[in-house]
Each structure stands twice: as C-alpha cells, then as structure tokens.
Amino acid sequence: MAAEAPEQPILTNLHQEQATRDMPFASLDPQQQQQQQQQQQQQQQQQQQHQIQIQAQLQAQAQAQAQAQAQAQAQAQAQARQQQQTLHQQQLQQHYLQQHYLQQQHHQQQQQLQQQALYHQQQQQQQQQQQHYQMNGMNGATMGGAVMPAPTPAGHQAELNYIYGMVEELSRQLADNRRVTEEIVNGLGRIRNKAKAQGLSNGDLISRDANAALLTQYANALSLMLKQFHEYKAKHVADVAAWHRSYRAQLDEARRENSRLREQIWEMQTHAGRANEALRTFRRRYDEDEERFKRRVDDTALRQELRFWKRMAMPELEDDDPYWSADDDIIDEAEKERLRELELRAAQEQHMVDSQGEDSDEQQQHHLSSMGIMGGVAMQREESLPIPPPRPLSAASSTGSTGR
C-alpha cells in the first residue's frame, strides 16, 4: 500500500498536462481557466472516489470469497474428520473382532491339536500293547521274565513333532496379537488420560483442529490476495508509465508543431509588416507628390472652364436637363447610382399605382351601379403619388468641388 502514495501526483500532473494541451490559444480568460481547474479538480476527486470504491468492493469480494472458502473448507474438514473418526472406530472394532476371532480359532486349533495328540498317544499305546501281547504270545516260555517297552514308530514321531511345531507357532502368534492389542489399549488410555488432564473433550479437539485449519486457510487466502494485489499494482504502474511516455511523446510532438506554426505566423507577420510599410511609403509619397496635385488642380480648372463655355453656348437648355448629367463630374459615382435607384423605384411604384387605379375604377363603377338607388356618391381619398427627391443643381454650381 505504500507504493500507492506517488500515484496521485502523477495522475494530477497528467490531467494538468492534458488540459494544457487541449486548451485553445483563444481561451485566455482567467475566469474560464479557474472554472476549468475546478472542473478538473472535481473530475479528479470523482475518479479518486471511484477508484476507492472499486478497491473497497474488490477487498470486500475477496474477503467474502475467502470467508466462504474457509467455511466450506472447514465444513469439509469437519466432515472428513468425522468420517475419519468413524472409520477409525470401525477399524478398531474390526480389529477387536478379528483378534477375538483369531483367539477363538487359535483356541479351537489348540483343542484340535490336543485331541489329535491324545488320539495319537492312545493309538501308540494300543499298538504297544498289541505288540506286547504278540511278544508275550510268541515267548510263552518266558512269561515270567521282565517286560521290555517297544520303540515308537518313525512316522508317528514325525507327526507329533509337526503338531507340536504348529502349536508353538500358533502360541507365538497369539502372544504377538495380545501384545499389539495391549499396546493399542495402552495408547488409547494415555490419550484419554491426557484429554482428562487438560480438560478437553472430543468437541474441543475437533474445534481446535477446525480453528487451526481455518487459520491456515485464512493465511493462504491473504497471501494469495496480497500476491494478486502486488501483481495488479505492478501492472498498473507499468501501464501508467507507458501511458506517461506516450503522452509526453505526443505532447512534445504537438509542441514542436506549435513552435513551427508560430514561426510561420511570425514570418507571415514580418512579411505583412514589410508590405504594409511599403504601402504606407508609397501612399505618403503619392500624396506628397506636388506634380500630381498640380495636374489635378489644372484638370479641375479646365473642366470648370469647359462647363462654363458650354452653358454660355447653349442657354436654351435647362439646368436639370439630362444632357448635362453625362458630362457632369461634380456628382460622384455613388450619388449617381443612388439617383438611378430612386428613379427605378419611382417608376415601379408608378406602375403599381396605375394597376391599382384601374382595379379601383372598376370596383368603384360596380359600387356606383349598385348604389344608384341611393343617389349618393361614396367618399374617396385623395391618392397622392410619392414625390421623388429633387436632383441637385450641379450644373448651376461652379465651385469645382467634388464629392471625392
């Protein structure tokens, strides 16, 4: 979590650089800049809150998943322990039953062996007696002598040895089984005594084992979550670093382009200033040219003199005759254009008035025919046509002034 401290200044600088790049050159108002800064701060706060909420949700989900997994594993382990205990008890019962069964079989085998041994002894005694009787019958003369015991046959002695060996083997196995059973019983007794001494029951032991398993699972879940957080943090830092490198490269390129455009604008302004200075120099020299002014004065004087002699030569023409308008240089071109527009408008209005007059005459005649019974004439307004402005008496003036 300590690595997340420098992330906020990096994001703040990144947003400021992006806002500086996207800001147009015309928007240099301080109020607009303050508003933009406030909006950027609000956006940054919203992004921070959103990131905090996402992290809290991720942590809550991870904790919930870890708890659910721990509970499921605890339940599974408890069930497994119960099953193991049940199996252990069943195995102990089966072991006890097997031991009891083996003991019974061993006892039965011993009884059978003893019976077989007794049976063989009886048979041997009978055979010895028969042999003794036979010997007594063959040696009737020596009846009064001492009785000699007959030797045991070889086959019967081997069978007896085999039977005794089996009895000894079974006795040894029975002793081993008894020893193992005593060890198991002693171990169970020690465990029971230890549990009684510590005041623990089966439920306490099971809960202790379950708690230990839960703690182990919780530690594993936390280690896994921390590992995932570290991986996400490393990936996020790498992505942000790559984003910053790309953004700085684009910003550098944009600044170079801006510098190049500014140099072009400065060159254009320099050339425009030189051209303007040349025009001003030309205008100043043109206005200061005495020969041009002298020619203009002479030309005006000649025109005035020509106009005067024309008026003297043709006194029968009126001052506002159209003949003088073509040769008149006193009125400027703009005034002539305005006068032509006025004449055209007056002609259009006259045409419209004439057409309306014809329509009104027809309506009036129809109205008079319908009102003939009354013997009166309807009142009519005097319709006066708009009078166009008079043309200035430029021909009568001889001052030589022009509107230029």
Instruction: Please tell me the total count of domains within the chain.
Output: 1
Instruction: Tell me, yes or no, whether 212 lies in a domain.
Output: yes
Instruction: Tell me, yes or no, whether 267 lies in a domain.
Output: yes
Backbone phi and psi for residue 289, each to the nearest 5 degrees, phi listed first: -75, 115
Question: Could you tell me if 218 and 70 are in contact, meaning their C-beta atoms sit under 8 angstroms apart?
Answer: yes
Instruction: Tell me, yes or no, whether 152 lies in a domain.
Output: no
pLDDT value of position 356: 81
Distance, in Å, from the CA atom of 210 to the CA atom of 218, rounded to the nearest integer, reads 12
Instruction: Tell me, yes or no, whether 294 lies in a domain.
Output: yes
Question: Could you tell me if 69 and 217 are in contact, meaning their C-beta atoms sit under 8 angstroms apart?
Answer: yes
Instruction: Tell me, yes or no, whether 188 lies in a domain.
Output: no
pLDDT value of position 272: 96
pLDDT value of position 401: 42
What CA dihedral angle connects 230, 235, 241 and 242, to 10 degrees?
170
pLDDT value of position 11: 52
Residues in Cβ contact with 109 at an 8 Å cutoff, skipping those fewer than 6 apart: 166, 170
Instruction: Tell me, yes or no, whether 297 lies in a domain.
Output: yes
Instruction: Tell me, yes or no, whether 26 lies in a domain.
Output: no
Tokens, residue 378: 């309807």
pLDDT per position in the chain (404 positions), as tens?
444 444 455 555 555 555 555 555 444 566 777 777 888 888 888 888 888 888 888 888 888 888 888 888 777 777 777 776 666 666 676 766 777 777 777 777 777 777 777 777 777 777 666 665 555 554 444 444 444 445 555 567 778 888 888 888 888 889 899 889 889 888 888 887 887 787 767 777 788 888 999 999 999 999 999 999 999 999 999 999 999 999 999 999 999 999 999 999 999 999 999 999 999 999 999 888 889 889 988 988 888 888 788 878 888 877 666 666 555 555 666 777 888 899 999 999 998 988 887 777 666 665 555 554 444 444 444 455 455 445 444 444 444 444 43
If residue 46 lies in a helix (H) or strand (E), which one and from where to where?
helix 30-138
Q: Give the DSSP letter of residue 372.
A: T
Instruction: Tell me, yes or no, whether 219 lies in a domain.
Output: yes
pLDDT value of position 342: 92
pLDDT value of position 87: 67
Residues in Cβ contact with 11 at an 8 Å cutoff, skipping those fewer than 6 apart: 44, 47, 240
Residues in Cβ contact with 303 at an 8 Å cutoff, skipping those fewer than 6 apart: 329, 400
Range of the domain at 262: 199-314
Q: Which residue has the tokens 């989900």?
A: 61
pLDDT value of position 281: 95
